[in-house]
Amino acid sequence: MRKFAELIEKLDATNKTSQKVAALAGYFAQADESDKLATIAILSHRRPPRPVNTTLLRAYAAELAEIPLWLFEESYHIVGDLAESIALVVPNDEHTSDKSLSAILRELVQLKSKTDPEKKEYVQHTWMQLDYYSRFVFTKLLTGSFRIGISQKLMTRALSQVTSVPEDELAYRLMGNWSANDTTFEELVFGRNEQAYVSKPYPFYLAYALENEIHELGDISDWAAEHKWDGIRGQVIFRKNEIFIWSRGEELVTEKYPEIAELANVLPEGTVIDGEILAFVDDQVGLFNDLQTRIGRKNVSKAVLAKVPVIFKAYDLLEFHGQDIRSQSYRERRILLEALVQAANYPVLQLSHQMNFTSWEEVITERGRSREKRSEGLMLKKKSASYQVGRKKGDWWKWKIDPLTIDAVLTYAMRGHGRRTNLFTDYTFGLWHLNEKGEKELVTFAKAYSGLTDQEFAQVDNIIKRTTLERFGPVRSVEPTLVFELAFEGIALSNRHKSGVAVRFPRILRWRRDKKVADANTLDDLKALIPK
């Protein structure tokens, strides 16, 4: 545990990629096999299920620190991270436990089924035994949130340096359905467990946003264009008579989309299709907001299935008759994909229409139609390109439409987390609306956390502290004085929101210091943006 904590401390202490990779490589070079496996599992988001809920953890910590619970909660609001707050308030003990990381992970798996007093005894005892940083890392494992700025990509790179297995191959091996309990480091990294490979997805190829003028991509005949659909990117795998649906977040979602799982009846053995899970309502592509009702549910009722059916829009073919065809050109893969979709002849499986334009002007015109076609914009793919691993520049570009924007008033603020600890950086925004009494009031419609520079956040933080009206735990209501231009990708009516409107991916575009609060937009202005 100590070595793993030291690794996390080193990763935490630098923002230089090269140093992070070096620290990881150094760790992988000396850690024992089972700890290496446990580390890969943790850093690829395969943590044991949360064994103790956080309410209990807070109570355990307050008790051990001999402080009232409210004081612990206040400290947590300010520290901004539960595991860190606990590690800070729990008394220091000189004894350092030498339990291994893998042993602790096993204990956490067993802990889940224990009684509350047993949980308390174990957790408090372990806190006391660990030094500060190990305690922090241990608590991070307990709370199940382990965002420490290490992408899977960096981990894979470090592991590749130590094992000499090529990075792209490793990325593939580390994907899919495995856990630290059912494999070994040796088998995961060097071996080939046929059983595990049946369900394994390929690493997704991701595009960067177009950086230059569209014309600079060169000869249009080298490029194919298609719409960038706004759903959940996924892979459908059919191998050994079994179907698996993976989301891009490496979540196995087969059970959530039974209508797509029915493709098991029509796909040939050894097929992997890359595509998009899309809501398909009234015979047309739905909004992302429609899909929301499907995302959270594991067991979908008949009513939900009927209300929001889904389709799988196929983009690409990665495996054909059991052969990995990623190294073939997009042109070749696309021919196979079209034949496959046609042969399947199944309404849930649709081709993403490929458009072969003869001039860039046509591409520009088509992009302008994205909103009416309910896409996020266009994807441009080089016809000669292979299917690559991860986010790469050059052969694939995404060219999204400009976001919708509105000027809104900051109404509530909350302290941020991570590097924004102790700063008010999470904001709620309102728009003007006439209430029943005919009075103008601000109606909350969106929250946003990103889009300002550190300097601007510091200035806004200062204003929030000076204009606070009321405090509700970590949240403050503020006097409406600040106007921001917000951007968002999509908009739809929603009865789950007070404003009656849901916006997708809202973020701050800029601080409108030139505008008074009275100049901000109204809820009606926002509703006018909803596609008919």
Partner 1 sequence: MKRSDLLIFDAKGIYCPQAQVYIDPWKPVNRAIITHGHSDHARFGHNKYLTHHSNIPIIRHRLGEINVQGIGWNEPFQINGVIFTLHPAGHIIGSSQVRVEYKGEVWVFTGDYKTENDGVCTPYELIKCHTMITECTFGLPAFKWKPQALVFEEINSWWQSNKEDGKTSVLFGYTLGKAQRILKHLDTSIGQIFTHGAVENMTEVLRPQLELPKTTLITPSTPASDIRGSVVIAPPSAHGTPWMRKLVPFETGTCSGWMAFRGARARRATDKGFVLSDHCDWQGLLQSIKASEASRVICTHGYTDIFSRYLRELGYDASVENTDYEGEKEEITTVEPAQST
Beta carbon of residue 178, minimum distance to partner 1 (angstroms, whole number)? 30
Nearer to partner 1, 176 or 416 (CB): 416
Minimum distance, C-beta of residue 444 to partner 1, in the bound complex (Å):
25
The dihedrals phi and psi of 214, each to the nearest 5 degrees, come to -60, -35
- Does position 465 bind partner 1 by CB under 8 A? yes
Which residue among 462, 481, 498, 518 contacts partner 1 (CB under 8 A)?
462
Of the ranges 272-280, 309-317, 459-467, 502-510, which one interacts with partner 1 (CB under 8 A)? 459-467
Q: Does 452 engage in binding with partner 1 (CB under 8 A)?
A: no
Query: Counting beta carbons within 10 angstroms of the beta carbon of residue 477, is it exposed (0 to 12), middle (13 to 18) or buried (19 or more)?
Result: middle
| Residues forming beta bridges with residue 227, ordered by sequence position | 378
Token digits of residue 185:
């480091």
**Shortest gap between Cβ of 95 and partner 1 (angstroms)?**
16
Among 152, 183, 193, 421, binds partner 1 (CB under 8 A): 421
Please report whether residue 458 would count as binding partner 1 according to CB under 8 A: yes
Cα angle 162, 167, 170 (rounded to 5 degrees) comes to: 85
- How many residues make contact with partner 1 (CB under 8 A)? 35
Q: In the complex, what is the shortest distance from the CB of residue 423 to partner 1, in angstroms, rounded to a whole number?
A: 6
Cβ nearer to partner 1, comparing 16 with 298: 16
Q: CB-based contacts of 303: which residues, under 8 Å, 6+ apart?
A: none
> Are 446 and 458 within 8 A, CB to CB?
no
Strand, coil or helix: 140: helix
Least Å distance, CB 456 to partner 1, is 11
Q: Which is nearer to partner 1, 85 or 126 (CB)?
A: 85
Residue 508 has φ and ψ, to the nearest 5°, of: -85, 125
How far apart (Å, rounded) are the C-alpha atoms in residues 101 and 104? 5
Q: Based on DSSP, count helices (H) and strands (E) in the chain, helices before strands.
A: 20, 20
Among candidates 153, 202, 203, 208, which has minimal Cα distance to 396? 208
Q: Give the list of residues 6+ apart from residue 8 with CB closer than 8 angstroms, or none.
A: 133, 137, 148
| Residue 12 in contact with partner 1, rule: CB under 8 A | yes
Give yes or no for residue 401 binding partner 1 (CB under 8 A): no
Q: Is 454 in the site for partner 1 (CB under 8 A)?
A: yes
DSSP-derived secondary structure for 102-138? HHHHHHHHHHTTS-HHHHHHHHHHHHHHS-HHHHHHH
477 touches partner 1 by CB under 8 A: no
Q: How near is the Cβ of 421 to partner 1 at its closest, in Å?
A: 3
Of 30, 45, 53, 68, the one binding partner 1 by CB under 8 A: 68
CB of 79 to partner 1, least distance (A): 5
What is the nearest approach in angstroms of partner 1 to the Cβ of residue 462?
Answer: 6
422 binds partner 1 (CB under 8 A): yes
Is 479 among the residues that bind partner 1 (CB under 8 A)? no
- Check: CB of residue 377 under 8 Å from CB of residue 367: yes
Nearer CB in complex with partner 1: 66/194: 66
Strand partners of residue 279: 310
User: Using CB under 8 A, which of 466, 498, 513, 516 touches partner 1?
Assistant: 466
Burial track 236-245 (b if 16+ CB lie within 10 A, e otherwise)? bbbbeeebbb
Buried b / exposed e across 51-81, counting CB within 10 Å, b at 16+? bbebeebbebbbebbeeeeeebeebbbebbb
Query: Which one of the spans 29-37, 201-209, 342-350, 411-419 is the region binding partner 1 (CB under 8 A)?
Result: 411-419
Stretch that binds partner 1, among 85-93, 315-323, 387-395, 505-513 (CB under 8 A): 85-93
Of the candidate residues 240, 373, 419, 498, the single one contacting partner 1 (CB under 8 A) = 419
- 88 lies in the binding site for partner 1 (CB under 8 A): yes
The runs of H, that is alpha helices, within 199-329 are 258-261, 288-295, 302-307
Binding mask 15-34 vs partner 1 (x if CB under 8 A, - otherwise)? x-------------------
Residue choice 52, 65, 291, 340 for contact with partner 1 (CB under 8 A): 65
Dist. CA 470–CA 245, nearest whole Å: 47
Question: Which residues 133-192 are close enough to bind partner 1 by CB under 8 A?
Answer: none
- Would you count residue 80 as binding partner 1 (CB under 8 A)? yes
Q: Is 92 in the site for partner 1 (CB under 8 A)?
A: yes
Burial 320-336 (b: 16+ CB within 10 A, else e): beeeebbebebeebbee
Residue 14 interacts with partner 1 (CB under 8 A)? yes
Look at residue 356 and give its three-state secondary structure: coil
What single DSSP character describes residue 321? T
Q: What is the closest distance, in whole angstroms, from the C-beta atom of residue 2 to partner 1 in the complex?
A: 16
Site residues, partner 1 (CB under 8 A): 12-15, 65, 67-68, 71-72, 74-75, 78-81, 84-85, 88-89, 92, 416-423, 454-455, 458, 461-462, 465-466
